[in-house]
C-alpha cells in the first residue's frame, strides 16, 4: 500500500536485553496533567489508577506536584504509572 507506515519496528538493543532477549511489544506512553481539570488531582489520579489497572500495556506519566500525586496514589506507585514532578502550575485565567 502506498503511503502506509512501515511495518518494521526498530528495537534498541538495551530494550531487548532488559526484556530477556525477547523483542518487547510496543508500549504506548500517555502524559497527564494531574493538577488540571475541574477537580484537580483527586479525580485525575483516581482515573489514572483505574486506567493503568485495565490497560497494562500503556504507561502513564502523571505530571504535577509530586507530593500531592503520591498522597493520592499511595506507595508503592502502581505498576504502569510514573510521576514527573512539576513545581509550577498554570491557573485557568493565566495565558
Is 58:28 a contact under the CB 8 Å cutoff?
Answer: yes
Evaluate if residue 23 carries a pLDDT over 90.
Answer: no
- Total-model pTM: 0.68
Helix, strand, coil shares of the chain, percent, nearest 5, are: 30, 20, 50
DSSP structural state of residue 84: E
**Alpha helices for the chain (secondary structure H):** 13-18, 41-54, 66-73
Q: How far is CA 46 from the centre of its chain?
A: 13
The confidence score (pLDDT) of residue 24 equals: 52
What's the CA angle centered on 79, arms 68 and 52, to 5 degrees?
A: 80
**Between helices 41-54 and 66-73, what is the axis angle to 10°?**
60
The confidence score (pLDDT) of residue 1 equals: 37
pLDDT (tens digit per residue) in 68-92: 999 999 888 899 999 999 988 777 7
Amino acid at each position: 500500500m502506498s503511503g502506509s507506515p512501515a511495518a518494521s519496528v526498530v528495537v534498541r538493543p538495551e530494550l531487548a536485553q532488559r526484556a530477556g532477549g525477547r523483542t518487547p511489544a510496543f508500549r504506548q506512553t500517555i502524559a497527564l496533567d494531574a493538577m488540571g481539570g475541574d477537580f484537580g488531582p483527586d479525580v485525575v489520579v483516581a482515573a489514572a489508577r483505574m486506567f493503568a489497572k485495565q490497560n497494562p500495556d500503556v504507561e502513564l506519566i502523571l505530571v504535577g506536584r509530586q507530593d500531592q500525586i503520591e498522597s493520592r496514589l499511595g506507595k508503592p506507585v502502581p505498576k504502569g504509572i510514573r510521576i514527573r514532578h512539576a513545581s509550577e502550575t498554570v491557573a485557568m485565567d493565566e495565558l
